Amino acid sequence: MKKNLLLLLALVFSLNTYAAKKDGDYFKDETLESCYQKKMSAAVQNCMIYLSDKKKQEYDKQYHLLLENAWKRRDQFHNYTLFINAIAASERHWQNFIDQECLAQAYLDEKESIAFYTDKNACLIKGYIERMKSLKNYQF
């Protein structure tokens, strides 16, 4: 019985994975607002998780672009190594802060619920957007 159930679950998962790849990226053009407009279901949660991951990737690219720009202008720095060490520490502290801040916000909802993950990921999305603005406007 367990074996049949496991095989059935594996088959369903395989078909879902195939369908998702076949149809393309389901949440590709989503925004924070469009995620919220979905009917309250796992779709909202999945949309938020997708968008949060996407914003995290954009944030990582922006952070590495800042490091690249600093490297290109390293001759203009009085303390390049100290700057790089400080910006790396700042990034680690910020990432820890935003993770904890968004968890705190999510804990206002029932733990492990759709609302919990929706609020946590919405908070992360907003945090990444704000941090990217800050990194884009960084003055050397």
* Residue 132, domain CATH: 1.20.1270.180
Q: How many C-beta neighbours within 10 Å does residue 72 have?
A: 10
Are residues 24 and 40 both part of a single domain?
no
Q: Which amino acid is at 62?
A: Q
Are residues 4 and 46 both part of a single domain?
no
Are residues 7 and 41 both part of a single domain?
no
Are residues 45 and 72 both part of a single domain?
yes
Are residues 96 and 57 both part of a single domain?
yes
The predicted-structure confidence for 112-133, as pLDDT tens digits, reads as follows 888 899 899 999 999 999 999 9
Are residues 37 and 22 both part of a single domain?
no
| Number of domains present in the structure of the chain | 2
Phi, psi of 89 (to 5 degrees): -65, -40
Determine the structural domain holding residue 104 and report its residue range: 31-136
The predicted-structure confidence for 100-111, as pLDDT tens digits, reads as follows 999 999 999 999
